[in-house]
Structure 1
Amino acid sequence: MTAAKSPEQCETMIDVRAGVDEVDRELVALLVRRFGYMDAAARIKTDRNVVRDEPRKAQVLDNVAREAEAAGLEPARLRAVWDELVEQSIAYEMVRWDRIRTDPA
């Protein structure tokens, strides 16, 4: 498989879609890695009540907003995307936390 063209090199919607599909594959790989850290957090945290950490969530969202702005993107748009990502990460970590402590295998 050849690498997709950069956005600046795209001349057709086929080019654009190939680029988007490539980025989506890369994002999934990064999300697999990110959720691996949620597995680690579920393993490390000894109290289920600390899985949801609102100050940490706010810090993550602020970090993303700063990075987005520095990259020339709309901070509020990326903050909204990350808010959902963090909520899904918390939900995932809760399930993993419970499973680690109830599944002896």
Structure 2
Amino acid sequence: MTDTADPDIRRHTAETARTMGDVRHEIDRLDRALVALLEERQSFMDAAARIKGKRSVVHDRARIEDVVAKVLAEARRQGLSPAIAEPVWRTLIDRCIAYEFEAFDALKPGRDKA
């Protein structure tokens, strides 16, 4: 028996949702899951800041394009619109790079500022 009081339990699919309450429950559930995944991703920005020896390597254009290409391939595979995937990931990457710069500077003050 499922616990319908648990907000993290999936109750519907897009096909079985019948009310806006059903839709909102699932969107809120997914948003909580996305926050947890984004926090995990952020933790690896902390690791990157710790591991990278120079601030100048925090922003890596080739890596950005590699990540976006992989995301777009996965989006196509799973049926996510590239019109959603690409701008979301480019913004995510941009914000993660800004976060990593802050983490780098906090860990290594004054190091490789150029």
TM over 0.5: yes
- Tell me the C-alpha RMSD between the 2 structures: 1.0
In 2, Cα distance between the equivalents of 1:22 and 1:73?
Answer: 18
Gap regions ≥5 residues in structure 1? none
Structure 1 partner of 2:28: 21
Gap regions ≥5 residues in structure 2? 1-5, 110-114
Q: Deviations over 1:12-53 (max 9, x none)?
A: 000000000000000000000000000000000010000000
Secondary structure of 1:7's match? coil
Structure 2 partner of 1:41: 48
The match for 1:92 among 99, 103, 110 is 99
Secondary structure of 1:10's match? coil
Correspondence 1:26-105 to 2 at 5 A: 26-102=33-109
Deviation at 1:8, TM superposition (A): 1.8
Identity %: 43
Aligned residues: 102
In 1, Cα distance between the equivalents of 2:79 and 2:71?
Answer: 12
Structure 2 residue identity aligned to 1:66: A
Runs of 4+ in 1 over 4 A off after TM superposition: none
TM-score, normalisation: structure 2:
0.85
In 2, Cα distance between the equivalents of 1:12 and 1:87?
Answer: 36
Q: Deviations over 1:38-73 (max 9, x none)?
A: 000000001000000000000000001001111122
Structure 1 partner of 2:112: none
Structure 1 residue identity aligned to 2:38: L
